[in-house]
Amino acid sequence: MTTLQGKTLFITGASRGIGKAIGLRAARDGANIVLVAKTVTPQKNLPGTIYTAAEEIIAAGGQALACPADIRFEDQVQAAVKKGVETFGGIDILINNASALGLTGILQTSMKRFDLMHQVNVRGTFLCAQACFSYLTESANPHILNIAPPLNLDAKWFAPHLAYTLSKYGMSLCTLGMAEAFKEKEIAVNSLWPQTAIATAAMVSLAGEVALQRCRRPEIMADAAYLILTKSSRECTGNFFLDEALLRSAGITDFDRYAVSPGTPLIPDLFV
């Protein structure tokens, strides 16, 4: 069975939530994790830093390199890639997980917030893929995984929070375009999205602590990501996976273990 032992993952937004969970799952195989995130000091409302996440990765059995970076800036991304390659010898997997959120209506969305979402979500995904590309071509099983939704042109996903939807679908379109463009190089490009809301700091800021009881833990996304990343890059590209459906296809039926509060009705995620 394929594992991630010795593989190097470049993960954006890796200091907490889904990004950290994917890093921890890979670390159990003995993977190398390049953690890319902005949080370098403890924040009042945000758990953990890039350094505490690195400590957890090492404790889980992996190697970790904390690279403080804001993916809106090309020089910072290039520096993180360079440092990761110097430390671990290459990059096998890119996880475009970092994301800016804003569920505001068209007239309520400031252009500053609009720009932030597009710079982080779309431009950051595009930039990180560009920066990692030459190293991915040297990997035996290269993958790019975007934490982005399946494309659904139903207007109900656009009207209430148009700016956010545009930015997340921009990531999804990167999956579509890059999967085809990078096929000759045998670099897999896929999207993964949760079927239900995930218990993260973003969820708390949106709906409060009480909403967490109706969420699943980030580990469900990590386990689903692991299934994708251990597939052959030649045979698995251009897909839009949902975590639950993917895990069920692999024979996993016990989803209570992922629930924050087993038996409590779950909140469906956006775009599904």
Residues noted as catalytic: 164
Q: How far is CA 35 from the centre of its chain?
A: 12
Amino acid at 73: F
Under 8 Å between Cβ of 214 and 266: yes
Q: Where are the alpha helices (DSSP H) in 218-265?
A: 219-229, 243-249
The two three-digit tokens of residue 215, written as one number: 């969420």
Phi then psi for 218, rounded to 5 degrees?
-60, -20
Of the chain, the end-to-end C-alpha distance in Å amounts to 31
Largest Cα separation within the chain, whole Å, is 52
Half-sphere exposure of 21 (CA within 13 A, CB side): 20
Under 8 Å between Cβ of 175 and 189: yes
Element (H, E) at 12: strand 8-12
Element (H, E) at 124: helix 124-136
Under 8 Å between Cβ of 135 and 78: no
